[in-house]
Amino acid sequence: MGKFFSRYKYYLIGALVLFIALTLILIVFSSGPQRGAFNYQIF
């Protein structure tokens, strides 16, 4: 298992950095007062 993660750790770190960056961008640009109709249940 350790060997597996050491082999792919750069992919994992890269994907995590991408996720965090995307999430932060999304939080910033989607913030603001509720504009749409009430949307109670998203699924």
Partner 1 sequence: MNTSKILKNLLAILILIVVLFAICEALIRVYLHYNTVYDIEMTRYAMEVKEDSENPKIGHVHKPGSEEELMNVKVSINSDGLRDKEYSTEKGDAYRMIFLGDSLTFGWGVEVEDTFQYILEEELSKTSPTEIINFGIGNYNTEQEVNLFFEKGVKYDPDKVVLFYFINDAEITPEKSGLWFLGYSHLISFYWSRINSLINNIVAAKSFKEYYSNLYEEGQEGWANSKNALIELRDYCRENGIALQVVLLPELHDTDNTIFTQVYDKVSGFLEENGIDYMSLAKLFKGQGNPIELWVNYDDAHPNDVAHRKIAEALVEFISNKETD
Per CB under 8 A, residues contacting partner 1 are 4, 8, 11-12, 15-16, 19-20, 23, 26-27, 29-43
Closer to partner 1 by CB, 2 or 4: give it. 4
Q: How far is the CB of 22 from partner 1 (least distance, A)?
A: 9
Q: How far is the CB of 2 from partner 1 (least distance, A)?
A: 13
Distances (CA, A) of 35 to 6, 30, 32, 38: 46, 11, 8, 9
DSSP assignments along 4-30, one per residue: HHHHHHHHHHHHHHHHHHHHHHHHHHH
